[in-house]
Structures are given as structure tokens and as C-alpha cells.
Amino acid sequence: MSPRLPLSLPRAGLRGPNSIRTLTTTPTRLNTGVPPHPPPQQPSGYKQGMSRYKLFASPFAKVFLGAVFTYQVIYWTWVKLEMEETKEGRNKDVVALEKEVRELTGKK
């Protein structure tokens, strides 16, 4: 027969570090019928990085579109002035050629 242990020894001390706990020794949980809250999802690295620049998206778009608009206005004005200059130069050439033709033909 096995020797009896004195009652003064704690029972937890009898279990070794590798002992298996049974279902009766695990703490009970209350079943309220409500599922536990899912853990809050951390944004991915991409979303977290993009959230920093989201504040700058609208001002960047405004500046970019303003720059494109300004460039187009300046370009259109430059082309218009260049066309007028070319037209004026051609008109001067035509007037000079007409004058030369009149002198050669002797007509006034």
C-alpha cells in the first residue's frame, strides 16, 4: 500500500511542471451568448503609409491642376503672339513683293 501524505502539504506542490490539467481544473467561462469582440484590425503598412499623405492629396491636386492650367494659358498666349508675329512678317513680305512687281511692270 502507498504511504499516505500528511494533509498539511499543498496539493499543488504534488503536480510537476509537466503535469496535464484536466477540464475540472481550468477556469470556467460564462456563456452569455454574445460572441467576443473581434480584435481591432491594424491597418496594413500600405494603408498606414498612405494615410499620412491623404491630407496632402487635395492641396497637391489643386496646385497641380493650377500649374497645368497656368501652363496652358501661357502656352496658348505664346502661340497666339507668335502666329501674329509670323502673319505680320508675311504681310510685310507680300507688300514688299507687290511694290517690286509694280515697279517692274510699270503700273502704279
Q: What is the pLDDT of residues 56-106, one digit of tens each?
A: 888 889 999 999 999 999 999 999 999 999 999 999 999 999 999 999 998
Which residue reads 492629396 in cell numbers? 57
For residue 5, the one-letter residue type is: L
Verdict on whether the full-model pTM lies above 0.75 = no
Residues 56 and 21: their CA atoms lie apart, in Å, by 57
Which residue reads 497656368 in cell numbers? 70
pLDDT digits (tens, 9 = 90+) for 19-66: 665 656 555 566 666 666 666 777 677 777 777 778 888 888 999 999
SS3 per residue for 12-51: HHHCCCCCCCCHHHCCCCCCCCCCCCCCCCCCCHHHHHHH
Residues 39 and 106: their CA atoms lie apart, in Å, by 102
